């Protein structure tokens, strides 16, 4: 049997995990005094409430002992494993997994593949879902892993945030940028870079109209032939910033031509990504190239 694994950075809902039979490995979260498992020992609403109250969180990575135990459990049963990991530029999880891969492939040759998603949040999770769909079609481990390696460069995440405090604290933006943003009310637009996997500031905007103009430009620029193809499922989701999610959703329907049933918003940015961005985070995930996996059913 082929097992598909990812981690807490993927922000998969529990229904998605069950529907697509995807196992999610835990990434550690701490507030300086206590250790948590993201999405398990604390729900996301409590997490964001705590952040707004001044609690600061830090994240770690999937522990190597947990990873090795999970991998060995399946490999010793004769199963194959595809693990799609949070971007290596954002977490040490992928590095730990590849070291294990080298050792375990000596005992279990050609049974384990590790993919660096070069993505975060549901950009990572969507790759795992597409891998699961291909598994249901009978595709092999190598065929699925190779396909995911290809499409990870064609799937994009557009980030907008309402505060630079958390990104500055995590070293993602400079103090000068943070101060200028506060004075001028200019906010950054970020993406997970598909070459490096880094979370990078790619532009700035002022006000909601400016944001939506930049979003349209970004979606066209990242699409095949420079024109966004609306015949796909587009995912719009946030941390604790529903009004911004709703605004972007309506823009996609009214201005970008996406059918309402193809705009999926039943997602949350979880604590692993939210710890670095703060509660006011909204993300748009879409494909630059459309294929037969570009529309995912809403029955999740």
- What tens digit of pLDDT does each residue of 186-207 get? 788 999 999 999 988 888 888 9
pLDDT, average across residues 62-69: 95
pLDDT reported for residue 42: 85
254 confidence band (pLDDT: 50, 70, 90) = very high
DSSP conformational letter for 188 = E
167 compared with 134, residue with greater pLDDT: 134
Contact between 24 and 132 (Cβ < 8 Å): no
Q: Is the dihedral of CA 108, 125, 200, 195 positive or negative?
A: positive
pLDDT reported for residue 86: 97
Across the chain, mean pLDDT equals 92
The token duo for 62 is: 């999937």
The token duo for 154 is: 């064609």
pLDDT reported for residue 204: 85
CA distance 1 to 69: 18
Q: Is the pTM of this model over 0.85?
A: yes
Q: Is the pLDDT of residue 183 over 60?
A: no
Fold for domain 2-152? Rossmann fold (3.40.50)
Phi and psi, residue 51, nearest 5° = -65, -45
**Domain map (residue ranges) of the chain:** 2-152, 155-287
Q: Is the pLDDT of residue 110 over 70?
A: yes
264 confidence band (pLDDT: 50, 70, 90) = very high
Q: Is the pLDDT of residue 173 over 80?
A: no
Least confident stretch, 16-20, 27-31, 233-237, 257-261: 27-31
217 confidence band (pLDDT: 50, 70, 90) = very high
Nearest in space to 166 (alpha carbons), one of 47, 17, 264? 47
pLDDT, average across residues 33-38: 81
Helix (H, G, I), strand (E, B) or coil at 63: coil
Find the DSSP H helices in the chain. 14-20, 44-52, 64-75, 93-107, 122-136, 141-151, 165-169, 175-184, 207-221, 242-254, 271-277
CATH of 155-287, one of 3.30.565.10, 3.30.1180.10, 3.40.309.10, 3.40.50.1240: 3.30.1180.10
pLDDT reported for residue 52: 94
30 compared with 36, residue with greater pLDDT: 30
Q: Name 64's Cβ contacts closer than 8 Å, sequence gap at least 6.
A: 96, 99, 100
Max Cα–Cα distance, the chain, nearest Å: 59
């Amino acid at each position: 049997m082929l097992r598909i694994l990812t981690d807490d950075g993927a922000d998969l809902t529990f229904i998605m995990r069950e529907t697509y039979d995807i196992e999610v490995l835990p990434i550690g979260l701490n507030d300086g005094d206590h250790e948590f498992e993201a999405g398990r020992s604390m729900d996301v609403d409590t997490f964001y409430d705590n952040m707004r109250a001044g609690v600061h969180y830090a994240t770690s990575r999937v522990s190597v002992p947990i990873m090795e135990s999970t991998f060995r459990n399946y490999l010793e049963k004769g199963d194959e494993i595809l693990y799609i990991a949070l971007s290596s530029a954002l977490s040490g999880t992928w590095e730990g997994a590849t070291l294990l891969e080298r050792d375990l492939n000596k005992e279990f040759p050609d049974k384990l593949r590790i993919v660096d998603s070069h993505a975060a949040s549901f950009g990572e999770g969507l790759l795992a879902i597409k891998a699961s769909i291909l598994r249901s079609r009978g595709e092999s481990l190598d065929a699925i892993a190779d396909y995911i390696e290809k499409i990870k460069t064609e799937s994009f995440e557009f980030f907008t945030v309402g505060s630079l405090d958390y990104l500055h604290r995590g070293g993602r933006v400079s103090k000068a940028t943070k101060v200028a943003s506060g004075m001028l009310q200019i906010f950054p637009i970020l993406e997970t870079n598909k070459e490096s996997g880094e979370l990078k500031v790619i532009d700035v905007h002022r006000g909601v109209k400016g944001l939506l103009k930049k979003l349209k430009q970004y979606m066209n620029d990242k699409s095949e032939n420079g024109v966004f193809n609306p015949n796909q499922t587009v995912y719009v989701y946030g941390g604790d910033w529903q009004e911004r999610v709703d605004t972007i959703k309506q823009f996609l329907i009214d201005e970008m031509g996406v059918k309402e049933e193809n705009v999926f918003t039943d997602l949350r940015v979880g604590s692993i990504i939210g710890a670095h961005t703060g509660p006011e985070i909204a993300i748009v995930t879409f494909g630059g190239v459309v294929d037969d996996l570009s529309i995912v059913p809403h029955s999740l």
